[in-house]
Amino acid sequence: MIQASVVGGSGYVGGELIRLLLGHDQIELKQITSERNAGNLIYSVHPNLRGRTTLKFSALSTLEPCDLLFLALPHGQAMHQIDRFAAMAGKVIDLSADFRLRDTALYEDWYGQPHAAPQWLDRFVYGLPELHRDALKSASYVSGVGCNATASNLALYPLFKAGLVDKPRGAIVDIKVGSSEGGNTPSLSSHHPERSGTVRSFAPSGHRHTAEVIQEMGLQADAPTVHLSVTAIELVRGVLATAHVFLAEPVTEKDLWKAYRAAYGQEPFVRLVKDRKGIYRYPDPKILAGANYCDVGFELDERSGRVISIAALDNLMKGAAGSAVQCMNLMYGWPETSGLEFTGLHPV
């Protein structure tokens, strides 16, 4: 049993993380901070946790040492205090974007400012177990993952790993996202009359998660060949990434099955979804709400020499808090699925 605390626990990702940690048999949840909610019961902000904990939010100034510290702060805040946080706990998992990128130039290009703690970047392991499992097992510092980047990376990884991609032509990834991706701070775009019924393109190019895909697929930062477009749809939880990948040479469907099974055949949280009939014959985020699975499927278009690779996940789970808990399990040598056994619901 270890003591874990959460810094910045009032947001949607923080709430999901608290829910998972409360259900984990190896965790004693010690503190949860929130400046605007200090002194209030956790369930006053996260009503689904009523009866699960009597903890109250505390101010960051009262943070005490613990074994493991989760940082769920808005982007740009953790890097200014990382020395303090690292002194408070032997292991740190930061769910923001502050330590996802290894290259300071890539960070400055996509986030528009110099990194405040560049000396820390190489100390963090990118927190996507499917790509960095061995490094995570010995890590003390782990970064979060972008939800759109996670769906894109898991859609693309089998094809890049197998060397099937024509890199100069690259890939175009069309991403549909739910409203929880925007966080819990109200805005005009989240106002119900404006958000309801939405199919709204809000980042046809230039989405920051593109940088994570460039890094994780081993592409050149100055000549990226992966292009993300992101569209908001009427959904609360969920990401659906549809990647169009151009092939270096002709392949058969059997070749693709080999590539996807080689990448994910032993993965506990990636399911290959490619059936010949039924409404769920391709990945669908609807049935993944609350689950840590990423469903991945594909289709071969022989006419154009293209593979359509599809990945679906819950942005708050596999796209954020779920992956963080999965990383924690690896860091401590616990069963990787501990606390993450929920399979999702149908119908919802």
Q: Which residues are catalytic?
A: 147
- Kindly state the tokens that stand for 168: 């100069």
For the chain, the distance separating the N- and C-terminal CA atoms, rounded to the nearest angstrom, is 35
- Kindly state the tokens that stand for 279: 């409404």
3-state secondary structure the chain: CEEEEEECCCCHHHHHHHHHHHCCCCEEEEEEECCCCCCCEHHHCCHHHCCCCCCECECHHHCCCEEEEEECCCCCCHHHHHHHHHHHEEEEEECCCCCCCCCHHHHHHHHCCCCCCHHHHHHCEECCHHHHHHHHHCCCEEECCCHHHHHHHHHHHHHHHCCCECCCCCEEEEEEECHHHHCCCCCHHHCHHHHCCCEEEEECCCCCCHHHHHHHCCCCCCCCCEEEEEEEECCCCCEEEEEEEEECCCCCHHHHHHHHHHHHCCCCCEEECCCCCCCCCCCCHHHHCCCCCEEEEEEEECCCCEEEEEEEECCCHHHHHHHHHHHHHHHHCCCCCCCCCCCCCCCC
Taking alpha carbons only, the member of 140, 146, 144, 98 closest to residue 123 is: 140
| Cα 75–chain centre separation | 14
Q: Count CB neighbours of 171 within 10 A.
A: 26
- According to DSSP, the β-strands at 171-177 and 239-246 are antiparallel
Angstrom distance (rounded) from CA 243 to CA 146: 16
